[in-house]
Amino acid sequence: MDLEKLRKTAAEIVSREDVKYLIGWRQGTFGYRAAPCFVEDAAGAAELTFSPLCSANLATYLTLAEKLPVPRGKEPDSRKTALLVKGCDSRAVVQLLVEKGVKREELVIIGCPCPGMVDRALLAEVIPEESAPADLKWSGGGFVLVKNGLETALPRDRVLAEQCRLCRHPNPVVSDILLGEPVQPWEVGPDGGVDEIEAKDVADRWDYWEEQFSRCLRCYACRNACPLCYCKDCILDRLNPTWINRAVNFSENTAYHLARAFHLAGRCIECGACERACPAHIPLGKLNRKLAREVRDQYGFEPGLDANAEPFQAAFKPDDPEEFIL
Ligand code: SF4
Ligand code: SF4
Ligand code: SF4
C-alpha cells in the first residue's frame, strides 16, 4: 500500500463539502496497535496508515458512532461518511446495505486490498510487546516488524491471524475508490478449529462449550465490536420481558451466546472482531464459523457479497433442506 496515496486521497475526500468525516486507522500509542480514527481535515489524513496491524473492522463505527441530538431549529447532518475498508470490512458494509442498516448514498468507500493481518498475541510470542509503538509492514509474502529502528522479518504462517488464514475475500467487494492493485487470494486450508469440534461426540462438545461459556464475563465487548450486532433494541438490554437474565453463570451465558450466534447465522462475515475483543479469550470464531459453514454448505449462501441479495434469514427457496424441521 502506498501510504502517500492513501493520505492524499483521504485529504481530498475530507475536504469535500458533502463529506462529514473519514473513518480510518492510525498508528497506535502502545506496542503492536493500530487505532481506528475519525479524520476531519488534512492534518488528520496525514496520520492515516494501513498496515498488518489494522485488523479492526471499521464498518462497526458506521452504526456505533454517537448520533448527537439535533439542536432545535437545525437540520440533521446528512453529509456522507467516508470509510477505509479491507475485504472483511467491505463485506460488513454490504451486509449492512442488505439489511438497510446504512444507505449506499451516505457512504464513500475507499477499498484497501488486504494481504492479511497479524495476530498480535502470536506476534508477541515471537517478539514480546513493549510499550513503545512499533510498526509492521508487508514484505516478500511475509511481515517485517520495525521496532527501535530495527527491522525483523517474520514468516507469514507464524503470525498470520486465523481469520486471515481462512479468508476467501481479501479484496474489497465494494468500493468507490480502490487504493492499489487487488491482491491474489490465497489457498484457504481446512478450518481445523471447527473440524476439531465437529469430530467430538455430543457430550464432549457440550463439555467443551460449558468450559468456554463458563468463563464469559458478559462484558459484551464481542457484541460491541461486531459490525453486525447493531440492533437498537437488543434483547440483552431488555428487562421486560427479560429474555436473558443479568446473572453471569453458565446457563445465562449460554443463552447469550446461542442467541447471538443464531442472530448472526447467515450474517456473520467472519472478520474475527468479536474474538479479538474478548478479554477471556473465548473462541467465538469457532462458533460463528461453524454456523457460517452450515449456511454455506446447506444453503449455498455467503453473506456480505451482494448488496441486492435477500437477507438470508428472511429468504426461502423451494429446495431448501428441511429434514430438521419437526
Ligand atoms: S479477514 Fe481477509 S480482508 Fe479481513 S483482515 Fe483478514 S485477510 Fe484481510
Ligand atoms: S460475529 Fe464476530 S466474526 Fe462475525 S461479523 Fe461479528 S465480529 Fe465479525
Ligand atoms: S467479549 Fe468475551 S467475556 Fe465479554 S461477553 Fe463476549 S465472550 Fe463474554
Give domain limits for the chain: 3-178, 192-314
Percentage with pLDDT > 70 across the chain? 99
Say if CB 24 and CB 10 are below 8 A apart. yes
Residue nearest to atom 6 of ligand 3 (CA): 222
**pLDDT of 234 over the 90 cut:** no
Neighbours of 290 (CB within 10 A): 18
The one-letter amino acid code at 183 reads V
Cβ(86) – ligand 1 distance below 6 Å: yes
Maximum distance among all Cα pairs of the chain, rounded to whole angstroms: 64
Query: In the prediction, which pLDDT does 17 show?
Result: 96
What is the Cα–Cα distance from 110 to 172, expressed in whole angstroms? 9
Say if CB 114 and CB 86 are below 8 A apart. yes
Confidence band, pLDDT 50/70/90 cuts, at residue 318: confident
Cβ(161) – ligand 2 distance below 6 Å: no
Tell which phi-psi region holds residue 247, choosing left (phi > 0), alpha (psi between -120 and 50) or beta.
Answer: beta
**pLDDT of 66 over the 80 cut:** no
The DSSP letter of residue 259 is: H
Q: What ligand is nearest to the CA atom of residue 265?
A: 2
DSSP result, 90-152: HHHHHHHHHTTSS-GGGEEEEE------B-HHHHHHHS---SS--EEEEETTEEEEEETTEEE
Cβ(218) – ligand 3 distance below 6 Å: yes
pTM of the predicted protein model: 0.94
Confidence band, pLDDT 50/70/90 cuts, at residue 105: very high
Task: Name the residue of 60, 91, 163, 305 whose CB sits within 8 Å of the most ligand 1 atoms, as the mutation to test its pocket.
Answer: 163
* C-alpha count within 13 angstroms, C-beta hemisphere, residue 217: 9
Cβ(229) – ligand 3 distance below 6 Å: no
Residue that the C-alpha cell 457484541 belongs to: 223
Task: Name the residue of 211, 213, 220 whose CB sits within 8 Å of the most ligand 3 atoms, as the mutation to test its pocket.
Answer: 220
Query: In the prediction, which pLDDT does 270 show?
Result: 96
Query: In the prediction, which pLDDT does 277 show?
Result: 96
Cβ(248) – ligand 3 distance below 6 Å: no
Query: In the prediction, which pLDDT does 324 show?
Result: 67
Q: What ligand is nearest to the CA atom of residue 236?
A: 3
